[in-house]
Amino acid sequence: AQSVTQLGSHVSVSEGALVLLRCNYSSSVPPYLFWYVQYPNQGLQLLLKYTTGATLVKGINGFEAEFKKSETSFHLTKPSAHMSDAAEYFCAVSSTGGNAGNMLTFGGGTRLMVKP
Amino acid sequence: DVKVTQSSRYLVKRTGEKVFLECVQDMDHENMFWYRQDPGLGLRLIYFSYDVKMKEKGDIPEGYSVSREKKERFSLILESASTNQTSMYLCAGSGAKVAGLDTQYFGPGTRLTVL
């Protein structure tokens, strides 16, 4: 079975500071990894995903994440936080096989707060 | 732009009522999913459907059923609502049959309160 752990249910940073949201996964097969963002009163939208190839993945709004197999991690970073980045962020790992190939297992989420 | 819509943003029901949550996607996607979202637990998969009339249980199917009579529509049914089903319900759709090749697109969610 696959699982995802997000360290820190709440993270607070100052505007302009580095954003680091942590995600560790467990998977018995090579994983596909995703970061989604949920703004208040909205559904989830994809920030970025790792499938194969380059381990540093760039996404929307200046976010990027690095797949580190040896550490089973997929941490999300952004060099400089903006007030508009305040949201909840979810890390997810994709199951393989089955009838709906792209099934996702989500972490518990990290709420990012940005202070002026 | 791809679009997934859910019939209600907010819903209040009483214990024991039968509740229908509707989801419609305009992406011609084969796969559709129902999740519930609870604080600290992230999203948990209730049911998914990979084709019309085809469904499979997710991680937490107890107390729920689903219906998919048309490709674009996927309904979640609470046969007899209970207070522990108070939650945010999210619908999603995706087109790929192979993991990692596609994105799940989410609706805005329905916040259900059962009194």
* Residue B44 buriedness (CB in 10 A; 0-12 / 13-18 / 19+): middle
- A51/B49 Cβ within 8 A: no
Chain A CB within 8 Å of residue B57 CB: no
B3: which chain A residues are within 8 Å (Cβ-Cβ)? none
Look up residue A57 and give its two tokens: 């993945």
pLDDT of B2 over the 70 cut = no
Mean pLDDT of B51-68: 93
End-to-end CA distance of chain A: 41
Q: How many CB atoms are closer than 10 A to CB A98?
A: 13
Amino acid (1-letter code) at residue A80: S
Dihedral angle of Cα B42, B45, B51, B54, to the nearest 10 degrees: -170
User: Could you tell me if residue B69 is left (phi over 0), alpha (psi between -120 and 50 degrees) or otherwise beta?
Assistant: alpha
pLDDT digits (tens, 9 = 90+) for B8-50: 999 999 999 999 999 999 888 888 999 999 988 899 999 999 8
Chain B CB within 8 Å of residue A49 CB: yes
Cβ-nearest to A44 among B44, B50, B106: B106
- Give the residue from A91, A62, A89 showing the smallest Cα distance to A74: A91
Cα separation, A100 vs B100, whole angstroms = 11
User: What is the reported pLDDT for B1?
Assistant: 64
User: What is the reported pLDDT for A65?
Assistant: 97
Q: Which one is predicted more confidently, B54 or A2?
A: B54
pLDDT digits (tens, 9 = 90+) for B63-111: 999 999 999 999 999 999 999 999 999 999 987 655 556 688 899 999 9
User: What is the reported pLDDT for B61?
Assistant: 95
User: What is the reported pLDDT for B101?
Assistant: 60
Chain A CB within 8 Å of residue B41 CB: yes
User: What is the reported pLDDT for A112?
Assistant: 97
| Residue B40 DSSP code | T
Give the side-chain half-sphere CA count within 13 A for A44. Answer: 31
Chain B CB within 8 Å of residue A45 CB: yes
Beta pairing partners, B12: B113
Cα separation, B45 vs B41, whole angstroms = 11
Torsions phi, psi for A33 (to 5 deg):
-125, 145
Distance from CA of A111 to the nearest CA of B (A): 10
Distance from CA of B99 to the nearest CA of A (A): 4
Mutate one of B9, B47, B52, B98 to test the A interface: name it (highest A CB count within 10 A): B98
User: What is the reported pLDDT for B43?
Assistant: 93
User: What is the reported pLDDT for A23?
Assistant: 97
User: From the first residue on, what is the mean pLDDT of each consecutive set of 10 residues in chain A (116 residues)?
Assistant: 90 97 87 91 90 90 94 96 96 70 84 96
